[in-house]
Amino acid sequence: MTDRYCVFGHPVGHSKSPAIHAAFAKQTGEAIDYAAIEAPLDDFAGAWRAFVAEGGAGANVTVPFKEDAFRLCDTLSPRAQRAGAVNTLVLGANGQTYGDTTDGVGLVRDLEHHGVELAGMRILVLGAGGAVRGILEPLLKAEPASVLIANRTAEKAERLAADFTDLGGIRGGGFEAVTGPFDIVINGTSASLAGDLPPLPDDLFVPGATAYDMMYGAELTVFLAWAAERGARPIDGLGMLVEQAAESFFQWRHKHPDTAPVLAALRQSL
């Protein structure tokens, strides 16, 4: 029997999730059918229920539905509760919907695959939106020395940091409050999509620092190009995309796919 999965988004035609999960399924010998479904902006819950009624067993959720997915779940993982958002839905045997968020796990695993040590490091995270909220718990669990969230609106960064202070040393502020140097700088803003760069000082990086952009493309993003010019090692978010998908696949199929060949093929296709 072939189990059905999908990714919900709006728009969703650009999604690489179907190709990624098809590769995972082939590699692990799992019989799944995975599609991209554009859900209506005003009825995400209805789209999920319709998918379940047609035999759907689980789904990935991308923008703009991660908070809608959070609200419809019967049970949530602790990290999803923290994030206030869900990117992975699992239909239980009892017909209840379980929600998880795998973005933070994907980020941390990608950094680990690149040999980036998180423990004891000074980390700067740019942005204070949902994408950043979803990565903070796994990031803090890696026990960095400190995490600073910087955002155009300082108050938003401060409120976000306050929600995670029980997990470690974290604070928030405006871009003007950023004083380096940092070991790792993670761009969680959408500025790269518009070709923009947050206002950052030139002395942001320690020697040998890592610059990570949660966005990706065939070429370096504006942020990564700027960071590379200042001596940082640039890493884009394509690996995070594959790693978060692998964690979703594990939630559904209880098998860990080998992400390296899938990432390599995806990189070649950009």
Strand order through the sheet with 75-76: 32-38, 3-9, 56-61, 88-91, 97-100, 75-76
The verdict on whether residue 134 carries a ligand-binding annotation is: no
Task: Out of 26, 66, 141, 255, pick the active-site residue.
Answer: 66
The verdict on whether residue 62 carries a ligand-binding annotation is: yes
The verdict on whether residue 16 carries a ligand-binding annotation is: yes
Q: For residue 184, what are the β-bridge partners? A: 123, 210
The verdict on whether residue 137 carries a ligand-binding annotation is: no
The verdict on whether residue 141 carries a ligand-binding annotation is: no
255 is catalytic: no
> Who contacts 6 (Cβ-Cβ below 8 Å, separation ≥6)?
34, 35, 36, 37, 51, 56, 59, 60
The verdict on whether residue 163 carries a ligand-binding annotation is: no
The verdict on whether residue 130 carries a ligand-binding annotation is: yes
The verdict on whether residue 156 carries a ligand-binding annotation is: yes
> Who contacts 102 (Cβ-Cβ below 8 Å, separation ≥6)?
87, 88, 244, 245, 247, 248, 251
Q: Which two tokens stand for residue 109?
A: 């695993």
- Using DSSP, state whether 205 is helix, strand or coil: strand
As annotated, the binding site includes: 15-17, 62, 87, 103, 127-131, 151-156, 214, 216, 237, 244
As annotated, the binding site for NADP(+) includes: 127-131, 151-156, 214, 237
Q: Which residues are catalytic?
A: 66
As annotated, the binding site for shikimate includes: 15-17, 62, 87, 103, 216, 244
